[in-house]
């Protein structure tokens, strides 16, 4: 068994770099050909619908909508993560790689970047002279309006 502890996946959405702990990542896969059940979609909330994952339907969320990123039809990779109440999926542009956590420099978020209400990230990873948003599913879930 490969020890994934301490590794992070680097990916991009809207030219912004993100890092995600492998521990909360379940799987990434090409989005082409994946059928989306749009009967449950609610685009005003950023819910694109549901997709099948290991014989179960899981919600597919539009992270661009949730995090107020510009819309583009460039997201070709599905990412499945462990959320607070179960698995959910989202689309990204590209997986850059899997990186050892020790290769990142973890930084606090500068005070001026903090918002009073919902903060979508609490750390920044610097990797190859690029600041990456630490993607934390539990924090992103705060932007999902439930009905």
Partner 1 sequence: MIKKMVLLTLGGRKFSLSVEQIEHVLPRQRIYPLVCLRPEIAGVFLYNDEPIPMLALPTLPEFNISEPVIVGAYIIVVQSEYGNIGLSVDSAVSIVDVEDGSFEDVTPSESDVQGCHVFNFQDVSYPLLNVGEILARLPY
Residues that bind partner 1 (CB under 8 A): 14-17, 67-69, 105, 107, 109-113, 115-116, 119-121, 124, 126, 129-131, 133
Cα–Cα distance measured from residue 12 to residue 87, given in angstroms and rounded to the nearest whole number: 21
Considering the complex, state which of residue 54 and residue 116 has its C-beta at the smaller distance from partner 1: 116
Considering the complex, state which of residue 6 and residue 131 has its C-beta at the smaller distance from partner 1: 131
State in angstroms the smallest separation of the CB of 75 from partner 1.
15
State in angstroms the smallest separation of the CB of 135 from partner 1.
9
Cα–Cα distance measured from residue 41 to residue 60, given in angstroms and rounded to the nearest whole number: 9
State in angstroms the smallest separation of the CB of 16 from partner 1.
6
The DSSP element (H or E) to which 15 belongs, if any, is none
Considering the complex, state which of residue 56 and residue 114 has its C-beta at the smaller distance from partner 1: 114
State in angstroms the smallest separation of the CB of 63 from partner 1.
9
Is 70 strand, coil or helix? coil
Cα–Cα distance measured from residue 47 to residue 70, given in angstroms and rounded to the nearest whole number: 16
State in angstroms the smallest separation of the CB of 38 from partner 1.
25
Considering the complex, state which of residue 29 and residue 106 has its C-beta at the smaller distance from partner 1: 106
Contact 139, 20 (CB under 8 A): no
The burial class, CB within 10 Å (0-12 / 13-18 / 19+), for 124 is: buried
Considering the complex, state which of residue 51 and residue 133 has its C-beta at the smaller distance from partner 1: 133
Query: Across the chain, how many H-helices and E-strands are there?
Result: 2, 11
């Amino acid at each position: 068994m490969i020890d994934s502890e301490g590794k992070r996946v680097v990916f991009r959405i809207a030219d912004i770099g993100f890092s995600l702990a492998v521990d909360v990542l379940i799987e990434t896969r090409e989005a082409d050909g994946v059928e989306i059940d749009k009967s449950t979609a609610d685009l005003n909330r950023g819910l694109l619908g549901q997709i099948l994952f290991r014989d179960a339907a899981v919600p597919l969320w539009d992270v661009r909508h949730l995090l107020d990123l510009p819309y583009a039809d460039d997201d070709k990779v599905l990412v499945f993560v462990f959320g607070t109440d179960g698995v959910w999926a989202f689309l990204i542009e590209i997986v850059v790689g899997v990186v050892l956590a020790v290769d990142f420099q973890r930084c606090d978020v500068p005070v001026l970047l903090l918002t009073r209400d919902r903060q979508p990230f609490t750390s920044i990873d610097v990797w190859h002279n690029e600041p990456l948003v630490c993607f934390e599913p539990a924090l992103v879930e705060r932007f999902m309006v439930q009905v």
